[in-house]
Amino acid sequence: MDSDINKAKNKIFANSLVKKAEYFWNKLINIGIDNNTSDFDKKRTRLINGICSWAFIIFFTYVVTYAADEKVRFVFYESVAGVIGYAMPIIINYTKKYNFACHFFTIFNLLFYLEQSVAGGRVIGVEYIFVPCCVTAMLFFKKPLVVFLYFLLNMLFFGLAKFSFSHLRPIFFYSDKAESIYIANHITMFVILFMIIYYYKSENARQEKLLALKNESLTIEKQKSDNLLLNILPFETAEELKQTGTAKSRRFNNVTVMFTDFKGFTNVSERLDPEKLVSEIDRYFSFFDQVTTKYNLEKIKTIGDAYLCAGGLPHENNTHAGDVAMAALEIQEFMQQQKGHNGDELLIELRIGIHTGPVIAGIVGTKKFAYDIWGDTVNIASRMESSGEVGKVNISGTTYQLIKDNFACEYRGKIAAKNKGDVDMYFIESAKNTAALA
């Protein structure tokens, strides 16, 4: 039992150390980076900070190791130069001079490892570090000419290092120290190569993750904009508009149009403050929206306190007249219910008019697109509303012929409609054949 507890504690302690080390390392390699740093600068800054941190640790270890050894004083001085030289790019990155840090790092590598090659000879194998230095130059700079020049410099310095082995006598003879230095230099070369691959692979993964998040965010925003567009336009019209930038108007031969209008709205608006008035209108129209959605009607628009919708578009069907009639009865029933809940101050009554006939539907203009309908059918539906009575659903003779089997209606006779002459009108009393309607 105690053994299991100790193992668990050790595991927690180890995980804590790993997290702290990871946190410290991330802080270190992100020195000089902020929200304004470009993605390219972030990549090369993290890479330089990582390589320089590793090199700093190596040469600082040499400084400590050889500080008290008079026999390897030259190595101590080289290591001090390495500590200072590899700390500088990190300091320069801290000042956000990213390009200068890249140039300093690359040139310092060339000079420092050439000096080590000349000073120590072939036994230390330091000349091979020019290989990863050549790779870093390709990653640090965007301009092909700069990359090419650094490539040539790397090749030149590599050649000078190799040349020095044959024509120059080493300044310092490592003797028994040579093997450890040789191994350390090759480990450094492989670590630099590993860090180049690792950091650019991790940066790619980071960018892919960011891209995925951006794509997800764009998808969400697109969905929001699509939903917003569908609140304004029918689906087919919205799709045509997105794909072509325009949407053609379309003729519908048989559509049922419904107009509603509040009686006494002007008087009520004079008594209410604007916020309360808008709130009340919103409450009523929100219910109308629910009803039109329930009966698959297309809301066209609101004009002040008037509400316009239609059945049979944008998808043609044979039930549009009955659907509109059912919606109208449900809306009037709702308005009757409000009388008991609102005081005289908010007493609003509603007239509804319905007519059936052909319309043209579509959008016009280039700004603030709105789906609308045009034609004499719309005008007659408006006349049905204005010729009706509050609390009633007034329909034309055309609509009556389509719904008479399923609705009880009261014939009003021929009534004069503005600019339309005498028109047969009916009040819908109730639905009498709900099974057939369903």
Flag whether 25 is in a domain: no
The CATH number linked to 388 is 3.30.70.1230
pTM of the model: 0.54
Are 196 and 299 contained in the same domain?
A: no
Q: Can you tell me the distance from the alpha carbon of 408 to that of 429, in angstroms, rounded to the nearest whole number?
A: 5
CB 122 within 8 A of CB 164: no
At 174, is the pLDDT very low, low, confident or very high (cuts 50, 70, 90)?
Answer: low
Domain end point (choices 175, 196, 214): 214
Are 190 and 250 contained in the same domain?
A: no
At 37, is the pLDDT very low, low, confident or very high (cuts 50, 70, 90)?
Answer: confident
Are 158 and 255 contained in the same domain?
A: no
CB 117 within 8 A of CB 126: yes
Are 179 and 287 contained in the same domain?
A: no
Are 257 and 209 contained in the same domain?
A: no
Query: Residue 171 has what pLDDT?
Result: 64
Q: What mean pLDDT do residues 57-86 have? A: 82
Across all residues in the chain, what is the average pLDDT?
Answer: 80
Flag whether 278 is in a domain: yes
Distance of CA 108 to the CA centre of its chain: 43
Query: Residue 327 has what pLDDT?
Result: 92
Are 264 and 193 contained in the same domain?
A: no
Are 409 and 280 contained in the same domain?
A: yes
- What is the H or E stretch that residue 56 is in? helix 39-66
Flag whether 18 is in a domain: no
Domain end point (choices 163, 191, 214): 214
Neighbours of 416 (CB within 10 A): 11
DSSP strand pairing (349-363 vs 393-396): parallel
Flag whether 9 is in a domain: no
For residues 98-135, one letter each, b for 16 or more C-beta atoms within 10 angstroms of the residue's C-beta and e for the rest, the string is beebbbbbbebbbebbbebbbbbbbbbbbbbbbebbbe
Nearest CA among 189, 331, 337 for reference residue 259: 331
Q: Which DSSP string do the residues of 139-184 spell out, in sequence order?
A: HH---HHHHHHHHHHHHHHHHHHHHHHHHS--SS--GGGHHHHHHH
Q: Can you tell me the distance from the alpha carbon of 58 to that of 191, in angstroms, rounded to the nearest whole number?
A: 11
Are 192 and 148 contained in the same domain?
A: yes
Q: Which domain holds residue 173?
A: 31-214
| Angle formed at CA 123 by CA 120 and CA 128, multiple of 5 degrees | 85
CB 231 within 8 A of CB 370: no
Query: Residue 315 has what pLDDT?
Result: 84
Flag whether 158 is in a domain: yes
Q: Which DSSP string do the residues of 74-96 spell out, in sequence order?
A: HHHHHHHHHHHHHHHHHHHHHTT
- What is the H or E stretch that residue 359 is in? strand 349-363
Are 184 and 272 contained in the same domain?
A: no
Each residue's pLDDT tens digit, 233-246: 676 776 767 677 67
Each residue's pLDDT tens digit, 408-437: 898 988 887 777 778 888 999 888 765 545
Flag whether 381 is in a domain: yes
Instruction: For residue 345, give the DSSP letter.
Output: G
Query: Residue 176 has what pLDDT?
Result: 54
Distance of CA 435 to the CA centre of its chain: 48
Indicate the SS3 state at residue 296. Answer: coil
Domain end point (choices 170, 192, 214): 214
Name the residue with higher pLDDT: 278 or 91: 91
Q: Can you tell me the distance from the alpha carbon of 37 to that of 30, in angstroms, rounded to the nearest whole number?
A: 11
Each residue's pLDDT tens digit, 292-341: 989 989 888 888 888 999 998 888 888 899 999 999 999 988 888 877 66
Are 99 and 42 contained in the same domain?
A: yes
Q: Can you tell me the distance from the alpha carbon of 72 to that of 67, in angstroms, rounded to the nearest whole number?
A: 9
Each residue's pLDDT tens digit, 338-391: 776 655 556 678 899 999 999 988 877 667 777 888 888 998 998 888 888 888
Are 190 and 335 contained in the same domain?
A: no
Indicate the SS3 state at residue 307. Answer: strand
Beta bridge partners of 410: 427
Q: What is the tally of structural domains in the chain? A: 2
Are 56 and 190 contained in the same domain?
A: yes
**Half-sphere exposure (CA, 13 Å, Cβ side) for 353?**
23
